Structure 1
Amino acid sequence: MIHLLNSEKENLISAKLSGKISKSDVEKVHSRIHEILKNNNKVHFYFEMEDLDGYTLKGFWEDIKTDVSHLSDYGKMAFVGNNKWQEWVANATDFFTSSEVKYFDLKDTAEAKQWINQ
């Protein structure tokens, strides 16, 4: 599930991720990406992952399609989690994009928020 959070920056998508991410979750974020791109050049992301079990198959496919169509629209990405696989996902994202990507441990959420808001 993706629960969108309020953000002080108009070009930042801030969300808590938990459970399984579905196709409708990704579509909600994709819609927000388009809203931001109307007024900004880049979309930044802050994802706090707690008790995240991954994706449904349709959710995974929708995320891949969304990312492929918007890779050049992404700016900074902060991944905040507590599992080694989440850090690996952040590192893989950094490798495949031109975005500035950082992984933070859940205990460092204040540092992550400060970094993404700079």
Structure 2
Amino acid sequence: MIKMTPAEFENAIEIEIQGKVTEEDIHNFEEFFLLKRQHHDKVNILMVYNDWEGISLKGLLEDLKLMKYTRDINKIAVVSDKKWIEKGAKLEGLIPSISMEHFLPENKAQANRWLAT
């Protein structure tokens, strides 16, 4: 499941990821992202992982299609206590147009400050 909410500042969105992510979750995220993108050149994303159980195959295929929006994203802050998610954030950080950082759950406020700069 992906729960989406406006973030603490105008050009950002916050998503909480928990349980199993489905194709429908990815579609809902895309719609939410595109609504925010209509009003901003670049969007920042705060991704908070809580008890994430993975992603369905159809969800993964839809997620890969979102790569077309990489030029519309400025920064992604990943909040999680899982080391493997931190490593994944570092790998995804190889996308040159997006700055990405990992934060522990107790540092969520720091993640928001980083996105705001």
Q: TM-score, normalised by structure 2?
A: 0.92
Match of 2:14, SS state, is: strand
Q: What whole-Å deviation, never above 9, does each CA across 1:3-50 have from its counterpart, x for those lacking one?
A: 112323232110111111111111111112211222211111001101
Q: What whole-Å deviation, never above 9, does each CA across 1:24-78 have from its counterpart, x for those lacking one?
A: 1111111122112222111110011011112111111111101x21111111100
Match of 2:94, SS state, is: helix
Residue 27 (str. 1) matches residue 31 (str. 2): no
CA RMSD of aligned residues (A): 1.3
Runs of at least 5 residues in structure 1 that lack an aligned partner in the other structure: none
Where does residue 72 of structure 1 map in the other structure? 71
Where does residue 58 of structure 1 map in the other structure? 58
Q: TM-score, normalised by structure 1?
A: 0.91
Written as runs of structure 1 = structure 2, the 5 A alignment for 1:1-118 is 1-66=1-66, 68-118=67-117
2:48 and 2:17 map into 1 onto residues whose CA distance is 6
Q: How many residues matched? A: 117
Runs of at least 5 residues in structure 2 that lack an aligned partner in the other structure: none
Deviation (angstroms), 1:108: 1.1
**2:73 corresponds to which letter in structure 1?**
Y
Match of 2:84, SS state, is: helix
CA separation of 1:27 and 1:46: change in aligned 2, threshold 3 A: same
Is the Cα contact below 8 Å between 1:71 and 1:97 reproduced in 2?
A: no
Match of 1:10, SS state, is: coil
CA separation of 1:18 and 1:64: change in aligned 2, threshold 3 A: same
1:17 and 1:75 map into 2 onto residues whose CA distance is 20
